[in-house]
Structure 1
Amino acid sequence: MLVISRFDVAEGDGDGFLERARAALGAFAVRPGFIRGRVGRSADAPTAWALTTEWDSVGSFRRALSDFDVKVHASTLLAESSDEPSAFEVLGAWDGAVETQGRTDRAPDADTTRVGDTPR
């Protein structure tokens, strides 16, 4: 699973944001299921920043959010991100020149049923 959070950070606040983002990544990094994380600033718009993390499953990410250090360092930062979808299934990837195939964890009826619906 890939989590992409975008931020609008005033130019004068970039150093402080970077420090906070590094602390957030440090808190995530020790959680089970964490694969990798990155923080970056747009080359074209210096106020546009992104924090990305990769997880082995959506469950790992959601469980990480309940950790105390994650709540202190990451959840407060993520609360400042743009209000848009941020969690994505990895359906394909390349590691160098080698393509790896992702898989979906969505149920076959995910687009037609909701939690609590009873099958008929």
Structure 2
Amino acid sequence: MNVLAVIRYTVPESQSQDFAKQGHTILDTLAAQPGYLRGRLARSVDEPNLWALVSEWEGAGFYRRALSAARMELYPLMILMVNEPSAFEDVYLRDRA
């Protein structure tokens, strides 16, 4: 069962450019891990300080192992993370008709 991983961050405007660069590096690291399907770095259109690192995985185990592989890239951003669960299993998936 596929897993959607969402890690949200609260990023001060003064740090947004550096954060975006670090987000690219994190996604590049995650993309090199087994089980990775796709990912994106997104910014809220309503609250510009709220960002999300979103990735899709073939399963929860792949995601958890990938977090270990990316811990050096993730560590500097931990202070900006929103403390909440990040892994969600697909319950229903509907593609565009």
Alignment match, 1:114: none
Match status 1:59 vs 2:58:
no
Unaligned 5+ runs, structure 2: none
Structure holding more helix per residue = 2
Q: CA deviation at 1:62?
A: 1.3
Alignment match, 1:27: 29
CA distance in 1, matches of 2:62, 2:41: 20
Q: Deviations over 1:99-120 (max 9, x none)?
A: xxxxxxxxxxxxxxxxxxxxxx
TM-score normalized by structure 1? 0.72
Alignment match, 1:76: 75
TM-score normalized by structure 2? 0.88
**Aligned partner of 1:12: which letter?**
S
CA contact 1:37–1:52 (8 Å) conserved in 2? yes
> Which of these two proteins has the greater Rg computed from alpha carbons?
1
Q: Deviations over 1:71-102 (max 9, x none)?
A: 222x31562311111111111122222xxxxx
Aligned-pair identity (%): 38
Cα root mean square deviation, aligned: 1.4
Unaligned 5+ runs, structure 1: 98-120
Alignment match, 1:105: none
CA distance in 2, matches of 1:20, 1:9: 12
**Aligned partner of 2:41: which letter?**
V
- Where do 1:105-120 residues align within 5 Å? none
